[in-house]
Amino acid sequence: MPLTSVTSNADALTLTVVGEYPVPVERLWAAYADPRQLERFWGPETWPATFTRHDMEVGGRSEYYMTGPDGSTARGWWRFLAVEPGRRIELQDGFSNDDGTPNDGMPSMRMVFNFEPTDTGSRFTSVTHFPSTEAMRQLVEMGMEEGLRSAMGQLDGVLAEPVSVGASR
């Protein structure tokens, strides 16, 4: 499995995910740029994601929901702060209410995704920055680490498939 580590640092208020993949950076990037590919691995296996919006540009927004085994849904949003194609994405990530508005009762966090070439393919590093110790504790207790492991474990299957011409745009 290319997912190499998921580590938390309570002092720095971060959660870091690293994966090594036997594909070029362009292929890895395409999986994040195309919402149909992204939804195949963003949610944990038992909570698959559906993206209803994915405007991956500075100031753009993504909206998605994850559907649990019992049919219940959990909604989320991203606001893109920086997009450097093939290199880096920085976004604000948060929870949504059923009507799509931000859920102010839940913490939001800043996430930075880095994509870099390696001798054998590419490396993905995601660093989640929590606003407080309490927010980090709350989200980790909700299963964020396990959820990320499950979600990112599905990326291998997506990357094994060829990217279509439309998905690479």
Domains (range + CATH), the chain = 3-160 (3.30.530.20)
C-alpha distance from residue 129 to each of 81, 90, 132, 144 (Å): 14, 11, 9, 13
pTM here is 0.90
In contact, 49 and 66? CB cutoff 8 Å: yes
Q: Of the candidates 40, 33, 16, which has an alpha carbon nearest to the alpha carbon of residue 160?
A: 40
Q: What is the pLDDT of residue 166?
A: 33
Q: What is the pLDDT of residue 164?
A: 60
Eight-class DSSP state of 102: B
**Each residue's pLDDT tens digit, 26-61:** 999 999 999 999 999 998 999 999 999 999 999 999
Q: What whole-number distance in Å separates Cα of residue 94 and Cα of residue 21? A: 27
**Each residue's pLDDT tens digit, 83-114:** 999 999 999 999 999 888 999 999 999 999 99
Q: What whole-number distance in Å separates Cα of residue 167 and Cα of residue 142? A: 33
Q: Of the candidates 166, 163, 157, 167, which has an alpha carbon nearest to the alpha carbon of residue 3?
A: 157
Q: Which residue's structure tokens are 């870091």?
A: 16
